[in-house]
Amino acid sequence: MIHPALGQDTRTDKYLSEDFNAPDKITINNIFIIGNEKTRKNIIQRELNLTAKTTYDWEEFISFLEEDKKKIYNLQLFTSVEVTPLFTEDDQVEILISVKERWYVMPGIIFQLADRNFSEWWVNQNRDLSRVNYGVKLNHNNVGGRNEKLKVLAQFGFTQAFEVTYSKPYIDVKQQHGIAAQVTYFSNRTIPIRSIDNRQVFFTNEQEDILRRNLSATLQYTFRGSYYNFHNVSLGFNRTDIHPDVLQANPNYFLDDDVQLHYFMAGYSYRHDKRDNIAYATEGQVLALGINRYGLFTNDDVNETEFALMVNKYLRLNNKFHYVTGFSGSSYLSPRQPYILVRGVGYNPNFIRGYELNVIEGQQTVVHKNSIRYELLNANLDLSRYSPIDAISYFPIRMYISGNFDHGHVRDRNFIPENSRLTNKYLFGYGVGLDLVTFYDNVFRFEYSINDQGLGNFFINFTAPL
């Protein structure tokens, strides 16, 4: 089965069974698109393998119907997508693409935890309500109907932040080249300054001064030459200022005796993404690799290169079961980094179930995640009689029970003794979980996991595991 939001499955028995007299070849006369009141047609047409006035082999035609429907839905502009072949002759069809648009302008209230995950806040930080971010934000996810994204954020509380982000996926007629820009400022009165026993240590001075201010700006160029392959080149600047008390608490916070760290950075990333649903996939694969350079000029305060790799495979076993396996890794060339660039298990995307309360820091990280999932529920609640707005006229809900096993390794070249319990060691964790995928592809995960130290805990997460 496919996601309810994708509409009726075009791979029905009607077209694939022996009772249906399928032609050897099929010709598409026209393609019609309806329901796109805001979205420009060319944004939808960009996702189509199928073209009018073209003849296809029957199996190729059926395959393209499925692929095009998934690609349109993965634009994340529509609550539902249906692609329907309308036969005008035995070997001729017209294609009807019917979409229901999402609510694109999303003003909202920010109320979220500042910590790495819910369990970190609940256990390590003793449910401290001062560690909450609040504020306002405005997301426009389809500016001008061209799939442009605009985000404006004003946040207060534990982390005070202001951010403006704009992206335009296509700036050319052929719809291959795009641009994006982001400017972010944030400040903190409490910051992590190191880890001890593989847990973050937070610091606040007696006067509760602002301990860290950060300003960053990034420009990005994107190239999408084919449907599933994306190239990104970025150029940015980062400046971080800290209070002198931070250096007294950790003289190695910036690796030198200075309260300011500034550098230019550049990066390249490639992503091959052929998932059936990018929010919570059950079929397909995704590959992402990147290289980031921190420090481009001689007067920059950082001289570091980072490599990253992520590969996930999603295998549908039958209508109810699917298996997911994913590998992620990162590596720095230098043996030591400023603490603001520290990586490892516990930092996105490198998590091992059962170690949600820990940060395991080092220069090389490798994680392999595995889940087998069973679909408990796949439903679509029709709310049209209660809601006059199509964008919220139905409530999809999917529920999965999962069995999970993760393992990995973090190499710390410095062999820091206070973190030696978990660094430079093989780590693993396993458990069971309940995943809930609902309105606008929001994901809620409830898991109980046990790690190789024999410690078990219940964890709540708000993103897909991989």
Using alpha carbons only, what angle is made at residue 212 by residues 112 and 352, rounded to the nearest 5 degrees?
50
Does the structure show a pLDDT above 60 at 190? yes
Domain boundaries along the sequence of the chain: 4-101, 105-461
SS3 state of residue 61: helix
Does the structure show a pLDDT above 90 at 116? no
CA distances from 91 to 59, 69, 180 (A): 13, 21, 44
User: Is the Cβ–Cβ distance between 167 and 182 less than 8 Å?
Assistant: no
Q: Each residue of 268-290: pLDDT tens digit?
A: 999 999 999 998 999 999 999 99
Helices (runs of H) and strands (runs of E) counted in the chain: 5, 24
Highest mean pLDDT among 137-141, 154-158, 355-359, 369-373: 369-373
The span from the CA of 195 to the CA of 212, in Å, is 18
Stated as kind and residue range, the H or E segment containing 244 is helix 244-249
User: Is the Cβ–Cβ distance between 427 and 376 less than 8 Å?
Assistant: no
Fold agreement between 4-101 and 105-461 = no
Does the structure show a pLDDT above 90 at 243? yes
Does the structure show a pLDDT above 70 at 16? no
Q: At 86, list the tokens.
A: 């309308």
Does the structure show a pLDDT above 80 at 388? no
CA-based nearest residue to 225, from 188, 262, 272, 189:
272
Q: Give the CATH fold of the 4-101 domain.
A: Ubiquitin-like (UB roll) (3.10.20)
Least-confidence region, from 40-49, 146-155, 374-383: 374-383
Least-confidence region, from 15-24, 59-68, 91-100: 15-24
Using alpha carbons only, what angle is made at residue 214 by residues 363 and 347, rounded to the nearest 5 degrees?
35
Q: Each residue of 130-164: pLDDT tens digit?
A: 888 888 989 999 999 999 999 999 998 888 999 99
Q: At 268, list the tokens.
A: 């390249």
What residue has token string 């999970």? 404
Stated as kind and residue range, the H or E segment containing 362 is strand 360-362
Whether pTM > 0.85 for this model: the answer is yes
User: Is the Cβ–Cβ distance between 261 and 338 less than 8 Å?
Assistant: yes
SS3 state of residue 201: strand
User: Is the Cβ–Cβ distance between 65 and 28 less than 8 Å?
Assistant: no
Least-confidence region, from 20-24, 362-366, 398-402, 421-425: 20-24
- Amino acid identity at 184: T
Overall average pLDDT of the 367-379 stretch = 95
CATH class of 105-461: mainly beta
Does the structure show a pLDDT above 80 at 20? no
